[in-house]
Structure 1
């Protein structure tokens, strides 16, 4: 049962390598961090398996498994350089795909940017920005819900009523902060930011994050029920992962302040140790999953590094960030298994095969 909790509540969710960087030191702790240019050239430095001293014989079993499990793309970055980049099942480097709930971390990052610009304070109640009545909870209970509660998934609202985030669907279950439940209500942060910035969510996102990372062509696509899903190429997802590896920094520019990013990738509340601000955290003593109030002991992905934090989405969209290895890993595709999960045994087996590359 531990790995087979269906994630029914999950909602939302450049091309061509250039010069090989094998002349740099293969010691990734000494090698400088690389950032691909934002000039639209699609240039991205590479690093070979051999220069890292990795096991070449472990590559094909990994790729075979990815293809078998309905993957569309897979990228490994080390110190920002591409080590593996593969496309499967008719997908290509220029084809956009949806992030599903892995895109929640985009909202996290933009929330941090809005706070550092003085537009919001995540400790303030949501009704300070949206007015009262944005839920159907009693007023006293609605006024307990802060922006931080939305980031931490402990708003106390009923998560079983579907994806719609209209007031009628946002019903009280428990006081904010006392119950963890995976809920699409986090998207109200996008409304908060639009209200406070005087811009549309899309315009603010594009200006403050997408364009600064060179994530060209990515877009929010309305999926109904007031929700939007982010679509982009796999390399654009990798750009975001590289920013996350560098704690909010991109090529010398601090996009979102490091203190906020550290908080985002640290346990955000006392109920689910493995959850930060819409980021999943590996290596904790226990975890909870969507659509259940059970607590499971141990790490969410036992075969993966304990310092890893992840953006996980429906149909197995993945951003793995591993600071100890200066590594970012991207997987996009269809669901790995017939049971549609964002966290499943696929993660654990995939990490066994990834680990075989460098162990």
Structure 2
């Protein structure tokens, strides 16, 4: 009888030890943060089985490469959130061409609501002579050509999208060229909805997923500025095919088309999204066809919003990841894809693999 308490104590110790050795359970349900507060759940890198000894080298690399904001989401939860070079959670920065994907989604929303048809001529909405090319060539250009960078307009004449600067290079659909003429999509939305693009964007997207930020006009371009978390929210929406929690923001059929090869010239381009894992690709300001995957050391199912000076939204469905990088150019000024993509993923792979 005297040994009974000792046996009970021993059993309790065994149970306690076995519980402490159980791995942390990972919530497999996709998580969406609050749209009205700054609340955002986190998950630890340790619980995901990541190589935590490689996190500090990754962060040091990011800081050295002029990064301002960096976020990694796993299944919607924050794993890493870091700010560098006098930037903070509330600081804003420009999306540059990564914001093209915002215009892509807004075009899809406007089409679903019956305001436009991406297969009708642009001149249906903006009138004729919105370019300086012959009318018989101008009416070939549709919003879909603007979404896919196949307008056929000359991309060597700079950023100005006034009619006198929009000149013929090829028939629409027969030449891929990275061109700022995509901003005409914003103008089409304004004409057809009788709203400013900014107001329509806020009403249909920004407010619904709790983004912050504003559109700022720079010459002929409207550039989006926000904090890093807002960019991460948009990436999370993209990970879930245009559905925020239980709210459908964009028709999933349209969104799925936007992240697939959209034409036969540049396999790595959708509707203003860059696509990985294709057999070849084109780059801005070049007609050369490069062989192989866009960023060969990344998952083949990754799609990305890429902007000037290394603004990055990487979406990787197979790994349930959204990765955001905001900041100055990591090295030399660039339009979208850069060598930094490869170098950054070398560091990321050491952490997540």
- Taking the TM superposition and a 5 Å limit, the aligned residue runs for 1:252-291 are 252-291=246-285
Residue 188 of structure 1 pairs with residue 187 of structure 2: no
Counterpart selection for 1:223 from 209, 218, 229: 218
CA distance in 2, matches of 1:340, 1:258: 31
CA distance in 2, matches of 1:282, 1:25: 31
Partner of 1:25: 25
Counterpart selection for 1:237 from 231, 235, 240: 231
Contact 2:43 2:77 in 1 (8 A): yes
Please list the CA deviations of residues 191-214 of structure 1 after superposition, one character each: whole Å capped at 9, or x if unmatched. 100100011111111101111110
Residue 144 of structure 1 pairs with residue 140 of structure 2: yes
Residue 38 of structure 1 pairs with residue 35 of structure 2: yes
Tell me the matched-pair count: 332
Q: Decide whether aligned partners of structure 1 residues 146 and 23 sit closer, same or farther in structure 2, where only a CA change above 3 A counts.
A: farther
How far off is 1:123 after superposition? 0.8
TM normalised by structure 1 equals 0.91
CA distance in 2, matches of 1:110, 1:24: 40
Partner of 1:7: none
How far off is 1:340 after superposition? 3.5
How far off is 1:228 after superposition? 1.1
Q: Decide whether aligned partners of structure 1 residues 121 and 302 sit closer, same or farther in structure 2, where only a CA change above 3 A counts.
A: same
Structure 1 alignment gaps of length 5 or more: 1-21
Please list the CA deviations of residues 34-69 of structure 1 after superposition, one character each: whole Å capped at 9, or x if unmatched. 101111x20000000111111110101110110111
Partner of 1:106: 102
TM normalised by structure 2 equals 0.92
- Give me the CA root mean square deviation: 1.3
Larger Rg: 2
Residue 81 of structure 1 pairs with residue 81 of structure 2: no
Contact 1:25 1:31 in 2 (8 A): no
**Larger relative contact order (Cα-Cα within 8 Å, sequence gap ≥ 6):** 1
How far off is 1:339 after superposition? 4.4
Structure 2 alignment gaps of length 5 or more: 1-21
Question: By percentage of residues, which structure has more helix?
Answer: 2
3-state DSSP of counterpart to 2:108: helix
How far off is 1:25 after superposition? 3.2
